[in-house]
Each structure stands twice: as C-alpha cells, then as structure tokens.
Amino acid sequence: MDPRYEHFKNFSGNDMSREEKRAIWLEISNMTEEEFDAMSAHHREHQAGGPEIGAMAPDFTAEVLGTGRKRTGEFVTLSSKRGRSVALAFGSYT
C-alpha cells in the first residue's frame, strides 16, 4: 500500500477512536472543524433512529426484479425468509 494512504487502511474499522478518525478527516478534507462537528452530529442523530446492531430487522416487502432488472410483479416479504440467509443489494437501477 502506498504509505501516503496507510491511515485509510482501518478508517472504517472499530480500532480507531472517534478523535483519530476526526483528525484524519480534517487532514484530508477542506472542512472546518465546525462543519465536521455539525456533520458528525447529523450522522449520530440519523443513526439513532435506526435499529441497533444485532436487533431484528423491520419487516418489509420488496418487488423481485427479473432478467435485465425488469419488474416481475412478484413480491417477497422479509419475514417469509425467517431462518434463511438473506442478502440485500441496494442501488439505483433506473
């Protein structure tokens, strides 16, 4: 790895403190400390509304896409897959 980017290696991991991540973010971006702190506060507030890690996912229904990402009219509900492994791919398919 290029030594200039070594500090990115574990940036998303849990082995860096919030302050270490903050220092790196401020070093590599053009944000002020105040802008970074406001962004951080917004992200914490947003995450507070989501489920806790390890909590049961909320039930939902989604349409199954077919070949070429065409709509099929078939729907699947998460709760119908209880006990089975489920992978979700989110993205823009328009």
Averaged pLDDT for residues 25-36: 89
Q: Specify the pLDDT at position 11.
A: 58
Q: Specify the pLDDT at position 7.
A: 61
Confidence category of residue 81, pLDDT binned at 50, 70, 90: very high
Closest CA to 88 of 68, 63, 67, 54: 63
Averaged pLDDT for residues 2-19: 67
Query: Distance between CA 25 and CA 11 in Å, rounded?
Result: 9
Q: Work out the percent of the chain whose per-residue pLDDT is above 70.
A: 82
DSSP-based three-state secondary structure for 16: coil
The model's pTM is 0.44
Averaged pLDDT for residues 57-69: 88
